[in-house]
Amino acid sequence: MIGFEVLARDGAARRGRLVTAHGVVDTPVFMPLATTGTIKAMTPEGVAATGARVVLGNTYHLMLRPGAERIAALGGLHRFMNWPHAILTDSGGFQVMSLAAKRTITEAGVAFRSHLDGSLHHLTPERSIEIQHLLGADVTMALDECIAYPAPREAVEKSMDLTMRWAERSRQAFVDRSGHGIFGIVQGGVDPGLRLRCTARLIDIGFDGYAAGGLAVGEDQATMFAALDASLPAMPEDRPRYLMGVGKPADLVGAVSRGIDMFDCVLPTRSGRTAQAFTRHGPLNLRNARHADDPAPLDPACPCPACTGYSRAYLHHLCRSGEILGGMLLTAHNLRHYGDLMTAIRTAIETGTLADFAASFESTA
C-alpha cells in the first residue's frame, strides 16, 4: 500500500506526505492532467520544473490508444511517457458519464463505443483495475458511475448503490503491493445523507485513500463546499482525501480549508492553450488588446520562463498569431502558478496562518 502521514494541521486543513513507489508527494497537492500520457504543450522535464511530483493519466483514453497491454509491454506508463515520479490513474467513470449517448450501464459494467473508431468495448470494475495495473499506476481509482447534475434523488441513490457494489469488486481485483494503493470514490450527488452513506460503505470495504467524486459537474461553489462539509468529517483521518476535477484557485483554497489533500483539473493546462494566464492578481486574457504594448512581465513574482524571459506584449502577439509557443509558455506558467499556490498553502498550514492566507487570497483573486 501507499504511505500517508499528516505532518501538521490548521483547523480542518492538513499538511501531509504521500509515499508512493515513485517518490514522495507533499500534500496538499495539485496534479496536472496527463490524459493520454502527456501534459499537452509540455515536456515531462518541464512539468517537473513546475514542482509537480504526481500527474494523472486517463484509463479510458489510454485503453483505447495506444492500449494498456502495449504500454505494459513497453515498460509501463512511467517509462512510456518518461515520467519518473508518481502517477494516479482515473477509472474511466467520468468518461462513462460524458459518453452518455454511446454507452450502456449494467451491473456487470459499461459497454461503450469508442469515440475514435466506433469499436465496442466493455469496462468492468475488474477490467478497469487490470488496465491501471498494466499501466503501473501508483494510485488506482475504483470504477464508479458519475451521474449527471442535476438528477432526481432516486436516480442519484441508484447510481451511488451501483458505485458501492463496483467499489467492492474493484477492491477485490486490486493487487496489493508496496508503494501502490487504491482509492474509493464517494458519490451521492450533493445529498448529504447519500454521501455519508457512501462514505461509510467505502470505509467498511477499506481503501488506501478516499475521493470526493460527483462534484464540479455543474453545481456552484457553495453547493460543492456544502457537500464536502457534510462528508469530509466522516472520512478517516489517516488516509488521503482527493477532490476530483477541481478546479479554480479559489476552489483549491476553500477545499483545503475543509480537509482536502489532492486535486486535479484540466483548467490550468487548457487555459494556457487558450490564452488565459492565472496570476497572483487574478486571471488575464492575453488576447486582449490592452496587452499589445505592455513591456511588463506576466507576473513579476513568478520565476517561470514565461515571466522571466518574455513581455506581456510578446505573449499577446503569440496568442493572437496562433503560435504554438504561446500555449507552451502559458501552460508552463499556469502549472507553476498552481504549484506555487499549493506550496504557499502547505507553508500556511505549517505556520497556522491558513485563515489569514485565505483572506488575503480572496482579496487579490
Q: Are residues 216 and 80 in the same domain?
A: yes
Instruction: Tell me which DSSP letter residue 352 carries.
Output: T
Q: Are residues 240 and 359 in the same domain?
A: no
Q: Regarding predicted confidence, which is higher, 294 or 361?
A: 294
Give the pLDDT confidence of 28-66 residue by residue, as tens digits: 999 999 999 999 999 999 999 999 999 999 999 999 999
Place of cell 496534479: 31
Of 242, 264, 286, the position where a domain reaches its end is 264
Give the pLDDT confidence of 74-122 residue by residue, as tens digits: 999 999 999 999 999 999 878 867 865 688 899 999 998 888 898 999 9
Q: Are residues 240 and 333 in the same domain?
A: no
Of 264, 288, 315, the position where a domain reaches its end is 264
Q: Which grid cell sits at 283?
A: 486571471
Measure the CA–CA gap between 315 and 291, rounded to whole angstroms: 8
**Averaged over 342-358, what is the pLDDT?**
98
Q: Are residues 160 and 286 in the same domain?
A: no
pLDDT at 365: 64
For residue 327, which amino acid is it? G
Domain extent at residue 337: 266-365
Give the pLDDT confidence of 249-272 residue by residue, as tens digits: 999 999 999 999 999 999 999 999
Measure the CA–CA gap between 208 and 179, rounded to whole angstroms: 11
pLDDT at 361: 87
Measure the CA–CA gap between 29 and 144, rounded to whole angstroms: 23
Measure the CA–CA gap between 143 and 106, rounded to whole angstroms: 13
Q: Which grid cell sits at 150?
A: 442535476
Give the pLDDT confidence of 226-235 residue by residue, as tens digits: 999 999 999 9
Q: Are residues 91 and 207 in the same domain?
A: yes
Q: Are residues 126 and 108 in the same domain?
A: yes
Q: Are residues 273 and 146 in the same domain?
A: no
Q: Which grid cell sits at 57?
A: 493519466
Of 230, 264, 298, the position where a domain reaches its end is 264
CATH number at residue 184: 3.20.20.105
Q: Are residues 186 and 303 in the same domain?
A: no
- Mean pLDDT, the chain, whole residue set: 96
Q: Are residues 170 and 281 in the same domain?
A: no
Q: Are residues 245 and 293 in the same domain?
A: no
Query: Which run of H or of E encompasses 17?
Result: strand 13-20
Q: Are residues 285 and 172 in the same domain?
A: no
In terms of DSSP H, where are the helices of 310-353? 312-321, 324-350
Q: Are residues 88 and 70 in the same domain?
A: yes
Residues with catalytic roles: 90, 264
pLDDT at 95: 80
| Number of structural domains the chain divides into | 2
